[in-house]
Amino acid sequence: MTAPSTTEADEPEPNPTGTTGTAETAETAGKPPPGRRTFGLAAATALVMGNIIGGGIFVLPATVAPYGSVSLLAFLVLSVGAVLLALLFGRLARRSPVTGGLYVYPRDAFGPFAGFLSAWSYWTMTWVSIAALAVAAVGYVDVLIPLDDSHALGALVAILALWLPAAANFAGTRWVGGVQIVSTILKFVPLLVVATVGLFFVDTDNFGAFNASGDSVPGALAASAALLLYSFLGVESAAISAGEVADPERNVGRASVLGTLGSALVYILGTVAVFGLVPHDKLVDSGAPFADAVNAITGGGWGGTAIALVAVASIVGCLNGWILMAAQMPYAAARDGLFPAPFARVGKGGVPGFGVLACALLGTALIAFNYTAGPDTTFRVLVLITTFTGCVPYLFSAAAQLYWLAKGTRARVRPAGLVRDLTVASLSFAFSFWLIAGAGYAAVYQGVLFLFAGIPVYVWMRGRQRTEETEERVAAQPQGGDAERPCRGSGR
């Protein structure tokens, strides 16, 4: 075992926002308020897996089918990258085991503006991602209850899929953890059965061309990976909710790695099975690829119906965890005065209720605004936007780790620990940068607009914060004018 790196050995630096942050200080010191640590290792791992394995595994095989089986290679690359990110967040959680991880890390390293940009970008990603997940449920609901290609009915189903888990979040974090364990088991077991049994029915002729896009192999790999990243969003779930995890210094890293590895196994086996069971030309146009794959195994419609039920349960369970994530990030930023104060309000169940409500309302508006283009186009557009907005906080977090490592001294860091952490942080940064490049100009353009839209919010909140601090200092000054000033030569 190597000695602790700087992320473990260094003392946390003062809050750069200048706020007192009594509750935050208590958590940073490792003394959270009683009753806040509600997730054990099993629940935290289920939270990670539940957030990763959602709509992605059921919808994305058809979304990336136009690129060909090169997308299977992209899944392998993403699995390695996701494990690197999980290791990165585990190391950073040792320094700051508090709620709001991807906001806290850049804030502590680079100041409040970097923390705000990371929080704003991640928050944008969460509610856009939630809208995309809700849209992904429509294709499988259509297998159970034919919607007759009605955009109005599809939008209604998507909105309902969003608000059901939002209601569960209002019940409290203990309920969220319980739902995550149940929904993870419910979807993991049948998906693993499909991914293993389905391999015996694979027809290699169904895979189609290795690179069906016509682009270069590196270009097709990057483009498909940018879409597939959506299926791995959630690797940071335990770090975001570290304030709710028991023994977060150890369990955040463990839950992140275990949840990511388990999800990667299901993804790779499941996608290979789908590509081998459904002919390529049919897969490209499929709205429910896993249902089609199960029908190929069973030879009838009952298998597709069963997997459609599992898919809907999986997506709703994933939305349950993602809505919690969407509320936790602005909650941490609001406690530092960088998000509007209502985001910091916590209900009786321990959930930031205003954050949950804001996420549900924004997701509903996004679904209603975009659904006229149809579910397939809407899903693809939203997924690529989430790739950019999700990778921005990944970049900031990797940069924060590199900063702490560069700030360390040889006396406090053994070479083995430094090389290990430096390698993980550097590769995580490069991996995130590569995914942003693969998202394409349109997604980066729209993502930047979403990111810059938060700057006026930051300016307003920081301005109000400075004004309040000035008023407090003026009010604390002694009254009485010159009578309170020291007299010259008085010895005072």
Q: Where do we find the tokens 């700051």? A: 96
DSSP three-state, residue 245: strand
Say if CB 249 and CB 12 are below 8 A apart.
no
How high is the pLDDT of residue 9?
37
Tokens of 68: 């060909």
Say if CB 408 and CB 5 are below 8 A apart.
yes
Query: Which is more confidently placed, 156 or 371?
Result: 156
How high is the pLDDT of residue 47?
76
CA gap 267, 427 in Å, rounded: 22
Backbone angles phi, psi at 241, to 5 degrees: -100, 30
Stretch 290-319: mean pLDDT: 81
How high is the pLDDT of residue 54?
66
On whether the pTM is more than 0.85, the answer is no
How high is the pLDDT of residue 416?
60
Stretch 438-448: mean pLDDT: 86
Say if CB 202 and CB 276 are below 8 A apart.
yes
CA angle, 59 as apex, 56 and 61 as ends, to 5°? Answer: 95
pLDDT band at 486 (very low <50, low <70, confident <90, very high): very low
Query: Which is more confidently placed, 382 or 9?
Result: 382
CA gap 456, 72 in Å, rounded: 42
DSSP for 263-294, please give it: HHHHHHHHHHHHHHHS-HHHHHT-SSHHHHHH
Write the pLDDT tens digit of every residue in 175-189.
Answer: 666 666 776 676 766
pLDDT band at 173 (very low <50, low <70, confident <90, very high): low
Stretch 303-328: mean pLDDT: 80
Tokens of 152: 């109005």
For residue 152, what are the contacts with CB-CB under 8 A and spacing of at least 6? none
CA gap 436, 300 in Å, rounded: 41
Query: Which is more confidently placed, 104 or 9?
Result: 104
- Cβ neighbours, 10 Å, residue 117: 22
Query: Which is more confidently placed, 191 or 73?
Result: 73
Task: Say how many residues make up the chain.
Answer: 492
Write the pLDDT tens digit of every residue in 234-248.
Answer: 788 777 777 777 877
Stretch 37-53: mean pLDDT: 76
Tokens of 103: 């906001």
436 pLDDT above the threshold of 80: yes
For residue 376, what are the contacts with CB-CB under 8 A and spacing of at least 6? 287
Write the pLDDT tens digit of every residue in 339-363.
Answer: 888 888 887 667 788 888 998 898 8
For residue 138, give Cα distances in angstroms to 133, 148, 268, 269, 374: 9, 12, 24, 24, 11
Query: Which is more confidently placed, 408 or 463?
Result: 463
Query: Which is more confidently placed, 429 or 32?
Result: 429
CA gap 334, 336 in Å, rounded: 5
- Cβ neighbours, 10 Å, residue 428: 25
Query: Which is more confidently placed, 130 or 474?
Result: 130
Average of per-residue pLDDT values in the chain: 78
User: Which of 2-6, 179-183, 195-199, 311-315 bottoms out in mean pLDDT, i.e. has the lowest?
Assistant: 2-6
For the chain, report the end-to-end CA distance as a whole number of angstroms. 58
pLDDT band at 172 (very low <50, low <70, confident <90, very high): low
How high is the pLDDT of residue 455?
92
* 39, β-bridge pairs: 245
pLDDT band at 456 (very low <50, low <70, confident <90, very high): very high
Write the pLDDT tens digit of every residue in 210-224.
Answer: 888 878 888 889 888
- All structural domains of the chain, each given as residue ranges with its CATH number in brackets, are 32-407+417-475 (1.20.1740.10)
User: Which of 61-65, 198-202, 377-381, 477-481 bottoms out in mean pLDDT, i.e. has the lowest?
Assistant: 477-481
CA gap 356, 330 in Å, rounded: 10
Question: Which amino acid is residue 298, in one-letter code?
Answer: T
Query: Which is more confidently placed, 169 or 64?
Result: 64
DSSP three-state, residue 180: helix
Say if CB 330 and CB 119 are below 8 A apart.
yes
Of 446, 420, 491, 385, nearest to 6 by C-alpha is: 420
134 pLDDT above the threshold of 80: yes
